[in-house]
Amino acid sequence: MVERTVLDGARVVLPAGVVEHGRVTVEGTRVVADVPEETPAWDLTGHWIVPGFVDMHVHGGGGASFSSGDPEEALTAVRAHRAHGTTTMVASTVTGDLDDLARQAAVLAELTQQGDLAGVHFEGPFISPHRCGAHQPELLRDPDPADVRKLVDAAHGTARMMTLAPELPGGLESIRMLVDLGIVAAVGHTDSSYEATLDAVDAGATVATHLFNAMPALQHRSPGPIAALLEDQRVTVELINDGTHLHPAVLELAFARAGAGRVAFVTDAMSAAGMSDGMYALGPMRVEVKDAVARIADGPTAGSIAGSTLTLDTAFRRAVTVDGLPVEHAVRALSENPARLLGMADRVGSLEPGKDADLVVLDSAYELVGVMRKGTWLVRPEVR
């Protein structure tokens, strides 16, 4: 007999809006239509039920990195983020030697095929040396389509996204190739002009990798990539809502210009997410985490922000309590929009009958108290 779970009395966030005193019914691994009233239910009055979070840009967590090439270490990172509500995640790599990246991709591809990950995101090495951030400068290279294809092939059909700088030689050609292969092309770590960025979007780029970070600042006579990416309706913009990468006023600007349907909150988290301060690794780089902020510890890019220690439950809570976003807009940015962008909206991203039973339970202060993935409690609410 298929197990049935009924969650009742909470504020449920659906694509059509918030349902007061709503009900979510799960049978097996799926959300189903409502069942008769006499079915026993969990009483979640005073709580929120939102879709499981979808992170399309995350490098690690729980002390573990997706760039390690070790499947057990990758699974440690997966479990760390699932405990914070991320039920779907794409593993992001960091700039490295092409052969090393290919080996990492093969490991992550196997985990994707097993259902532990939703795919692979290559961030680097095809990025600008002028905007490399926490990527090792000597390992950067132009996006030659042959090299780009080598990494894509190494992922064995699981590559979901690649970030590159379109102004580099081979950039536009590589974007067109990625799009033809069904892979999301993202503009990031770029020194591109406004005009060159629009050319990249015309070539098929549809994502701005952590908008505002690792790209030229918005200037009134030289608007650069930020203006181009914000204004084009074809582009979804990633935002890292940790209070370090973006000022609340800048986040408000992004939502005002792009609209709630074109924003995706990401963590860009490295291995220190969910951990204490200390020394960590981000690919080949040493990172010092102090007061939960990660920075490159040494070398030519010392002091640069090195990803984040963010988890998406914190991004959600901050969006509502600090940034003043409506809960529905936060849900779109954390679940619906990235699921749609990744081509997974038929299974995840919203609480609709037939979709995976991936959900997060929050208390009245937006603190996470429960996580369900495919009908199984990963974090069980202490309420009945």
Query: Any idea which residues carry the catalytic annotation?
Result: 268
* Phi, psi torsion values for 270, nearest 5 degrees: -105, -170
Residues in the chain: 384
Between CA 229 and CA 208 the distance in angstroms is: 6
Instruction: Count CA atoms within 13 Å of residue 310 on its CB side.
Output: 28
- Indicate the SS3 state at residue 186: strand
What one-letter code names the amino acid at 73? E
Contact 70, 258 (CB under 8 A): no
What one-letter code names the amino acid at 322? V
Which residue is associated with the tokens 């609410």?
381
**Measured between alpha carbons, how far is residue 300 from residues 137, 174, 275 in Å?**
8, 28, 26
Contact 269, 80 (CB under 8 A): no
DSSP 131: G
Instruction: Count CA atoms within 13 Å of residue 225 on its CB side.
Output: 31
From 367, 371, 364, select the one nearest 45 (Cα to Cα): 364
